[in-house]
Amino acid sequence: MKPSTWRLAGALVLFLALAIFGARFHRVEEVGSAERDGYVAKAEQLMHGEIPVDPYRPLLYPLLVAGMGKTGLEPFVAARLLSNLAAAALVWLAFGFGRRLGGSDRAGYWAMALTAVNPNVWILGQHVATDMLFAALASAALLAGLAYLETPRARTALVVGAFLGLAGFVRGTAVFLVPGLLLAWWLADRPRSWRAPLVAALAAVALLAPHFWLRAQVFGDPVYSENFKNLAWKLYGYPDWSYLDRVPFASLGEIVRADPARVLAGGFAELWRFARGGLSQLLGTGVHALLLLAGATLAWGWRRRAAGWLLAASGIALVATAFVFFTWGRLLLYLLPVANGLGAAGLFFTARGSVGVLREGDDGCRRTRWADWLVLVLVALLAVKTFFFRLPAFVEHHPTAEIEALSALDRGGGEGLGCGEPGERANQTTLAGVTPFLGRYLEQRYVALPDAFGDEVTNPELYFEHLGPLLRSEGVRYLVAIPIDLRDRPAALLGPGQGGTSGLPSWLRLCSAGESVAVWQVELGEGASP
């Protein structure tokens, strides 16, 4: 087979492996993840002809999921498969960076292998969220920018603009790529013309046109966004998400003018956090972070313009992200194939020993084979972390016990769990739990308990005082709580054995409790006080 066929086959095998793993172990949103943003629920709204009201996130991802859902796939499955496909594409793109920087298929395959076993690819590649789709599109825009830098053509600029527009339709932070891509145009070998950036801009705007239309329909403004509130939350509200509902600023400018020093300090603190641990988390281990640093230095020596541009474009995007939000790995995932491409290229240059083509059997070829073994060790090291540590922890971080308890209540009432009267069924009642989105697995109505915010975090009585009227108005009969998604709610919800009884109201009667789940009967009749 041709080398391109092997690469495509490898990406396809990875996609199938991700799909099989997801079908077996990721059948509901992981607790405490970005999946709480509710993209599947937005897709379901679109499937019913409703436009979701979301002032933060563009809608390409739920639109694609809704389109796949129209073929008969369940929306959650469709969303997961879309993320699986984007993860396989991200790995395939890593080959492109390694090949272009190293000038050899070998460097491309090294970058591809290092990316394929990264735990972020396997975990975020399952999440029904925008992280992986944005990473693939943003990384494709950078790879197209690298191609333009080396061979400036209008059609390459068109590809750059297309991927940039699609990335912007997934996440607004795609704008952080624009300075780096303009730098590629400025550095390209030919008399500069405004034709290339104009072509790229037209392609991006054309693909963003549906986004602008949707914004105008919902908010009356085609460029409406409340993402500036994320900076306010970072500086003044973290980790209390309810702060987003009471941000006192009306724009990004107001936040900066209110306390410029705080904005600067927050940005530099994020950059330091990324250097201290975020880079290792993104690439897999500290050893792989060292490979990037060494590889980037060596690639700079051999391919100064290409490596320098990639470092500059990536650095601009990283700094912008740090100053407006957090340098979490999932937000910077599009830099993973760039980093592995730089590392692989630098290693290849070191092993090859010269720019010229080596004859079979000379010292350079032997060193290249030695480098193959080094890459194999690095891949094996990361694979052990991924498949023996990170993925088992990921599997355990799902609300399986909560779903099982709720399903038992849904089918036969509380008798089997120590609740209710013999023969009683839960028909025409409402179930409650701590994890959102579980209603899709139940016939009965489901309510997710609100998180605790502000004084509720330290005052359990206050939380239950606010919770009681909600449960009564919703007609909740049974309540299920699990420790892995309790968040800041009172620990008493886990039962006396795990959380004690502090603040526990009289209208909650414990049916059963164990290490993984607690089931309560809610006794809020007409005469009961919440």
List the end-to-end C-alpha distance of the chain, in Å, as a whole number: 70
Distances 491 to 398, 455, 464, 498 between C-alpha atoms, Å: 19, 15, 12, 7
DSSP characters over 171-182: -GGGGGGHHHHH
Which residues touch 410 (CB under 8 Å, ≥6 apart)?
Answer: 426, 431, 442, 443, 444
DSSP 426: -
Q: How many CB atoms within 10 Å of residue 362?
A: 12
519/434 Cα distance (integer angstroms): 11
In this predicted structure, the answer to whether residue 347 has a pLDDT above a threshold of 80 is: yes
6/43 Cα distance (integer angstroms): 35
Residues 385/285, Cβ–Cβ less than 8 Å: yes
Residue 435's φ and ψ, nearest 5 degrees, are: -105, 135
pLDDT band at 429 (very low <50, low <70, confident <90, very high): confident
pLDDT in tens, 252-307: 999 999 999 999 999 999 999 999 999 999 999 999 999 999 888 888 878 889 99
Q: Is the pTM of this model over 0.85?
A: yes
pLDDT in tens, 41-51: 999 999 999 99
- Rounded to the nearest 5 percent, the helix, strand and coil shares of the chain are 70, 5, 25
Residue type present at position 53: V
In this predicted structure, the answer to whether residue 417 has a pLDDT above a threshold of 90 is: no
In this predicted structure, the answer to whether residue 357 has a pLDDT above a threshold of 50 is: no
Q: How many CB atoms within 10 Å of residue 476?
A: 23
351/364 Cα distance (integer angstroms): 6
Which residues touch 453 (CB under 8 Å, ≥6 apart)?
Answer: 240, 241, 242, 488
234/403 Cα distance (integer angstroms): 33
pLDDT at site 421: 60
pLDDT band at 350 (very low <50, low <70, confident <90, very high): confident
pLDDT at site 355: 41
Residue 521's φ and ψ, nearest 5 degrees, are: -105, 130
Q: Three-class SS of residue 476?
A: strand
474/430 Cα distance (integer angstroms): 7
In this predicted structure, the answer to whether residue 367 has a pLDDT above a threshold of 70 is: no
Q: How many CB atoms within 10 Å of residue 190?
A: 9
pLDDT band at 356 (very low <50, low <70, confident <90, very high): very low
Distances 176 to 139, 149, 183, 324 between C-alpha atoms, Å: 12, 18, 12, 11
pLDDT in tens, 112-128: 999 999 999 999 999 99
Handedness of CA 307, 311, 312, 313 (dihedral sign): positive
Residue type present at position 94: A
In this predicted structure, the answer to whether residue 354 has a pLDDT above a threshold of 50 is: no
In this predicted structure, the answer to whether residue 436 has a pLDDT above a threshold of 90 is: yes
Bigger pLDDT: 129 or 354? 129
108/352 Cα distance (integer angstroms): 14
Render the burial of 314-329: b for 16+ CB within 10 Å, e for the rest. Answer: bebbbbbbbbbbbbbb
Which residues touch 498 (CB under 8 Å, ≥6 apart)?
Answer: 483, 491, 513, 515, 518
Strand order in the sheet with 430-433: 445-448, 430-433, 476-481, 518-522, 508-513
Residue type present at position 85: L
Residues 325/56, Cβ–Cβ less than 8 Å: no
pLDDT at site 439: 92
How large is the average pLDDT for residues 133-144? 98
Bigger pLDDT: 190 or 408? 408
Please report which helix (H) or strand (E) contains residue 149, including its range.
helix 131-150
Residues 149/184, Cβ–Cβ less than 8 Å: yes
Place of tokens 């391109």: 4
Residue type present at position 230: N
pLDDT at site 527: 43
CA-nearest of 460, 142, 168, 458 to 312 is: 142
Residue 2's φ and ψ, nearest 5 degrees, are: -70, 155
Q: Three-class SS of residue 244?
A: helix
DSSP 453: -
Distances 411 to 28, 416, 417, 484 between C-alpha atoms, Å: 19, 10, 12, 24
Please report which helix (H) or strand (E) contains residue 358, including its range.
none
In this predicted structure, the answer to whether residue 191 has a pLDDT above a threshold of 80 is: no
In this predicted structure, the answer to whether residue 505 has a pLDDT above a threshold of 60 is: yes
Which residues touch 173 (CB under 8 Å, ≥6 apart)?
Answer: 134, 317, 320, 321, 324, 325, 331
% of the chain exceeding 70 in pLDDT: 93
Place of tokens 């492996």: 17
Residues 142/318, Cβ–Cβ less than 8 Å: no
Which residues touch 270 (CB under 8 Å, ≥6 apart)?
Answer: 321, 322, 323, 326, 327
Polymer length of the chain:
530
DSSP 450: P
